[in-house]
Structure 1
Amino acid sequence: MLIFIEPRIVLLSVPKTGTTALETALSGKAEIAFRNRPEIKHLNLRQYLGRISPLLAPIGGAPFESVAIIREPLDWLRSWYRYRTRAELIGHANSTAHIGFEQFLREYLSTGKRPRYAQIGRQSNFLLDASGKVAVDHIFRYEAMQAAVDFLSARLSTPIKLRHSNVSPQAVTDLSPETEVMAREVLAQEYAVWEAARIAAVPAPVQAGP
């Protein structure tokens, strides 16, 4: 999480959405940076509103606006799967090096007790306020990262050049049609949030009627 005081921007760090590259490019511009340790770096909106926002209140001024990136849900899970196949995790309970992606996904979607390597939350959980409502002010699609870069560049009055970082290993992530259909049904709410996310730096203009 990065906090920029003057432009009143809070950049949330949803895991596996390219925010490490954004943080690398922008951390020097931020007055407050939560990074390195995952439990600090990946604070969600509720944690920000409950713990961090009150500390900023004495500064005064306009409310801070929150920004987040969200990835196509199955692509997000593919990234997690590939990340957990890396050599340094082999032998660890979080490793997916010994299983296929389809098994990983079915276990992730299971309502029963999941193995450690499939214990991953939902992207939308990072975007919810205490009432359970998606309440981040500006949500961009990972697949339209340039839109997020353009938005942040304009708000922070600084050019942004991203470098690839935290890249996951290559791995086969094919799915049977049946499993993909099941996944899209179970993850329908995740898809709704992703589909509503922005793909442009500014909202598209409303078309005038005839």
Structure 2
Amino acid sequence: MLVFAKEQLVILAVPKTGTSALSAALAPRASMVLRNPPSIKHVNMRRYQRFLRPLINQSQETGPEVMAIIRHPVDWLGSWYRYRTRDALLGHENSTANISFDDFVLEYCKGKPAEFAKVGSQNKFVRLNDDNLGVDHLFRYESLNKAVQFLEQRLDVEIDLPMRNVSPVLDLQLSPDIKDKLHEKRSEEFAIWERAQS
């Protein structure tokens, strides 16, 4: 998570959406950078609103605006799947090394998925406790240039994004019936992506 006090802007770090690259590019310019542990780096809107916003916004009536980037659900799940195939996780309950992408997505669709498919929800990440959207500026990962343009203008800085935290390259093809099931079981994930700026 990045905080820009002067510009009154907070960037939430939704996992697997290029926020490591943004953090690397903008950390020197930020007032506050939350990197570790991952539970702090990837603090969601609910936790930000409850715990961090009061600290950041001590003297002003209105808090800073909040920005986030989200990814198309299938691509987002593909990134998680690829990330969890790496050798470092072999033998671990989070490993997807011996699991097909179809099986990974099917498991994700369950109410209580196995550890390897517990990756959270982008939709829940950007919502408040009352289920309203909490972020002011929501961008699509697939249109990252729009987010960069917004930040360059808002922060008056030129941004050159480095490659960071890139998952292994795999050719992932989701079966049509599994894709349909994902749409059915996790329709809110597609709806929030549709709502983001393209």
Q: If the TM-score is normalised by the length of the shorter chain, which range does it land in?
A: over 0.9
**AA paired with 1:130?**
N
Match of 1:182 in 2: 181
User: Rg larger in 1 or in 2?
Assistant: 1
Match of 1:146 in 2: 145
Q: In the alignment, does 2:92 pair up with 1:125?
A: no
1:132 aligned counterpart, secondary structure: coil
Match of 1:203 in 2: none
Deviates more, 1:83-92 or 1:178-187: 178-187
- Cα RMSD, aligned residues only: 1.2
CA contact (8 A) 1:81 1:104 kept: yes
Match of 1:11 in 2: 11
1:66 aligned counterpart, secondary structure: strand
TM-score by length of 1: 0.91
Q: Aligned pairs, how many? A: 198
2:3 aligned counterpart, secondary structure: strand
Post-superposition, which runs of at least 4 consecutive aligned residues in structure 1 deviate over 6 A? none
Equivalent positions of 1:1-210 (< 5 A) are 1-60=1-60, 63-111=63-111, 113-199=112-198
Separation in 2 of the partners of 1:143 and 1:136?
A: 18
Q: Deviations over 1:40-65 (max 9, x none)?
A: 10001111111111112324375300
Unaligned runs of 5+ in 2: none
Separation in 1 of the partners of 2:123 and 2:157?
A: 29
Separation in 1 of the partners of 2:90 and 2:192?
A: 34
Separation in 2 of the partners of 1:98 and 1:149?
A: 37
1:185 aligned counterpart, secondary structure: helix
Q: Using the TM superposition, give the Cα deviation of residue 158 of structure 1 relative to its aligned residue in structure 2, in angstroms.
A: 0.5
Q: Deviations over 1:170-205 (max 9, x none)?
A: 224222211111111222111111011012xxxxxx
Q: Deviations over 1:117-173 (max 9, x none)?
A: 011211111101121111210000000000000001111111000011100012242
CA contact (8 A) 2:57 2:64 kept: no
TM-score by length of 2: 0.96
CA contact (8 A) 1:101 1:172 kept: no
CA contact (8 A) 1:93 1:116 kept: yes
Q: Deviations over 1:10-55 (max 9, x none)?
A: 0000000001100000011111111132111000111111111111
Unaligned runs of 5+ in 1: 200-210
Separation in 1 of the partners of 2:124 and 2:58?
A: 28
CA contact (8 A) 1:27 1:33 kept: yes
Separation in 1 of the partners of 2:107 and 2:169?
A: 21
Identity of aligned residues (%): 45
